[in-house]
């Protein structure tokens, strides 16, 4: 037989193999993250008919080269273009992830790790991040519960939708600050009702509350009282301000000096015998003696109603507490200066009426002129002071260095935390008669603001593979990080089908831990998938060359057959 006949056969087989590689490339032109392959040829072997000889110096003859006849071609290597980056395809799915760089995702089928560039993932019924095609778990690193940072140890399945991750725990408010401008000409500030501000806060169970405070100007426009008015729950109902240990809920008992005049409605009311308040028609509306027991004001409904009638008679309808806290120069002090230095409250004057023996001479409530002067009022809270020259905050309760005060919510019991309120950001400037002062939970950095229970509303993957959950209470939580694998010779990986690869002795082994994708300059992009890196124009060109090579080798066989036919015809 002719050697050329077998050479032609080897050529046909080798070009057929190349066509198989080209066909596989083209068939996977739309396969996610597919890496194209190419084949190289090498000569099969050669038959030596004469060995090479060296030159002969004695005879002066030169050497001759070996005489070899090639016996065909074979496949030299099939190389995978694994380093070639495929183009990106936008999908809009947040769990579709594309790696830019040379790293691979690590996935596990329950018994072993595989590697892939196919980042089409989803969250399965158990909350695990998994491949959509195979269901294999995506591997990564968990979060250290103590530091709340990623702990890069042996990779494990990323269970991002566990029950613990679906909600973010509530937290009680512990810090707050008051900021803005108090304008001394603001009619709200100068009125008897004062300028109201609200502080929203949470208890440890995530229930929300609103504390209503009031700023009131004193006789000195650089000093303001801040008092707690009431606390409302999330339904708008007032909660009791009675503390469990007798502690002051906000601030301390204090006084605020501010001159004023109180007028008694002598037309519609009269004090009978200095102890019984009657209407003009003779109807009794309050008996001072019945409102006290052992010198202490009672809290029953009859007393509350009577106090309301008394306050109304003095022009303080609906403001009983304000009326009772008014300060009056002590009428029992003969020295006017001493009387001013030792003021008494309207409530104490009312108590003296209840005790009997009160007259117009020693009790302003029974004044013959139906008016009396006040010098201020008693309140429970703090005094906020401003520098008269600069308008800047100048301290609390006269202490220049004091910038905070404590809202003693723990004293109410339940699940509250004390709230430390910072006043250093308020000022007293001209703002065209409008105050902008307000209270905000948390500090300037947002710490200590408290929160309600949060439900997960979204999951995002950062470019370094870190997975964060966002919650409807404004919080975010680190759930884990997608690990990647890097190989010294990625071309040495072995294809396992389903866009998967396994390590081989020539690729290098996976250490079980993996690397951060950004460690060698790579990154992840969400909402995108890597497309195949098959170049159709190059594949079609190679297909033409392969076809011509196949045709040429078939001609070798045809011509060799013709020659053999001529040989057999010699016998005729």
Query: In this structure, are residues 480 and 448 in contact, taking their beta carbons and an 8 Å threshold?
Result: no
- pLDDT tens, 215-231? 999 989 999 999 999 99
Phi first, then psi: give them for residue 68, nearest 5 degrees.
Answer: -130, 140
pLDDT value, residue 572: 66
Torsional class of 409: left (φ above 0), alpha (ψ -120 to 50), beta (otherwise): alpha
As given in the structure block, the two tokens for residue 21 are 């590689």
Q: Map out the domains of the chain as residue ranges.
A: 3-50+67-83+534-571, 88-168+455-530, 265-369
pTM, full prediction: 0.73
pLDDT value, residue 29: 94
Distance CA 111, CA 557 (A): 51
Helix, strand, or coil (residue 510): coil
What's the gap between Cα 393 and its chain centre?
Answer: 33
- pLDDT tens, 20-32? 999 999 999 999 9
Q: Hey, which residues does 515 pair with through a beta bridge? A: 484
Helix, strand, or coil (residue 210): strand
pLDDT value, residue 96: 95
Please give the average per-residue pLDDT across 135-160, as a whole number: 92
Question: Integer distance in angstroms from the first to the last C-alpha of the chain?
Answer: 20
Please give the average per-residue pLDDT across 291-312, as a whole number: 92
Please give the average per-residue pLDDT across 395-408, as a whole number: 92
Residue 244 has pLDDT above 90, yes or no: no
The residue length of the chain stands at: 572
Residue 257 has pLDDT above 60, yes or no: yes
Of the candidates 123, 129, 125, the one whose C-alpha atom is nearest the C-alpha of residue 142 is 129
Distance CA 517, CA 117 (A): 12
pLDDT value, residue 212: 96
Residues above pLDDT 70, as percent of the chain: 99
As given in the structure block, the two tokens for residue 37 are 């392959």
Residue 561 has pLDDT above 70, yes or no: yes
- pLDDT tens, 329-388? 999 888 988 989 889 999 999 999 998 888 888 899 999 899 999 999 999 999 999 999
- pLDDT tens, 526-559? 999 999 999 999 999 999 999 998 898 888 888 8
pLDDT value, residue 414: 84
Sorting pLDDT into bands at 50, 70 and 90, what band is 524?
Answer: very high
Residue 189 has pLDDT above 80, yes or no: yes
pLDDT value, residue 417: 94
- Reported as type and span, the H/E element at residue 469 is strand 466-471
Sorting pLDDT into bands at 50, 70 and 90, what band is 1?
Answer: low
């Amino acid at each position: 037989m002719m050697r050329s006949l077998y050479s032609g056969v080897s050529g046909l087989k080798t070009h057929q193999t190349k066509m198989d590689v080209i066909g596989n490339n083209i068939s996977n032109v739309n396969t996610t993250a597919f890496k194209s392959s190419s084949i190289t040829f090498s000569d099969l072997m050669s038959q030596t008919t004469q060995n090479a000889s060296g030159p002969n110096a004695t005879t002066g003859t030169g050497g001759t080269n070996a005489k070899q006849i090639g016996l065909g071609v074979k496949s030299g290597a099939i190389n995978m273009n694994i380093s070639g980056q495929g183009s990106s395809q936008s999908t809009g799915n947040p769990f579709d992830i594309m790696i830019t760089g040379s790293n691979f995702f690590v996935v596990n089928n329950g018994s072993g790790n595989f590697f892939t560039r196919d980042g089409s993932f989803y969250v399965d019924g158990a909350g695990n991040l998994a491949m959509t095609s195979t269901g294999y778990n995506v591997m990564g690193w968990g979060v250290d519960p103590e530091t709340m940072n990623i702990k890069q140890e042996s990779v494990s399945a990323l269970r991002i939708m566990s029950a613990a991750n679906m909600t973010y725990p509530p937290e009680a408010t512990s810090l707050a600050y008051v900021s803005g401008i108090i304008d001394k000409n603001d009619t709200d500030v100068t009125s008897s009702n004062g300028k109201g501000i609200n502080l929203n806060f949470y208890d440890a169970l995530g229930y929300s509350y609103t504390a209503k405070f009031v700023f009131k100007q004193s006789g000195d426009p650089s000093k303001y009282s801040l008092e707690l008015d009431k606390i409302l729950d999330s339904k708008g109902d007032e909660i009791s301000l009675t503390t469990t240990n007798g502690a002051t809920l906000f601030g301390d008992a204090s006084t605020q000096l501010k001159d004023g005049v109180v007028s008694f409605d002598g037309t519609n009311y009269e004090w009978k015998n200095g102890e019984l308040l009657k209407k003009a028609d003779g109807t009794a509306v309050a008996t001072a003696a019945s409102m006290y027991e052992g010198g202490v004001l009672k809290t029953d409904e009859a007393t509350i109603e009577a106090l309301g009638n008394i306050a109304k008679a003095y022009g303080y309808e609906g403001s009983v507490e304000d009326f009772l806290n008014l300060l009056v120069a002590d009428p029992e002090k003969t020295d006017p200066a001493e009387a001013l230095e030792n003021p008494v409250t309207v409530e104490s004057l009312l108590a003296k009426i209840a005790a009997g023996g009160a007259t117009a001479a020693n009790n302003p409530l029974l004044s013959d002129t139906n008016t009396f002067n006040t010098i201020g009022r008693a309140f429970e809270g703090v005094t906020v002071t401003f520098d008269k020259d600069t308008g800047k905050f100048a301290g609390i309760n006269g202490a220049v260095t004091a910038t905070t005060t404590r809202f003693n919510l723990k004293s109410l019991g339940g699940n509250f935390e004390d709230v430390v309120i910072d006043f250093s950001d308020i000022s007293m400037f001209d703002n065209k008669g409008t105050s902008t002062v307000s209270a905000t939970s948390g500090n300037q950095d947002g710490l200590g603001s408290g929160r309600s229970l949060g439900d997960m509303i979204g999951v995002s993957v950062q470019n370094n593979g870190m997975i964060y959950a966002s919650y409807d209470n404004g919080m975010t939580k680190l759930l884990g990080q997608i690990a990647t694998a890097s190989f010294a010779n990625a071309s040495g990986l072995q294809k396992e089908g389903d866009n998967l690869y396994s390590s081989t002795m020539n690729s290098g082994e996976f250490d079980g831990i993996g690397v951060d994708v950004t460690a060698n300059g790579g990154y992840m992009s969400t909402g995108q998938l890597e497309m195949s890196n098959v170049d159709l124009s190059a594949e079609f060109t190679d297909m033409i060359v392969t076809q011509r090579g196949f045709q040429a080798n078939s001609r070798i066989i045809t011509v060799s057959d013709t020659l053999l036919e001529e040989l057999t015809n010699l016998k005729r």
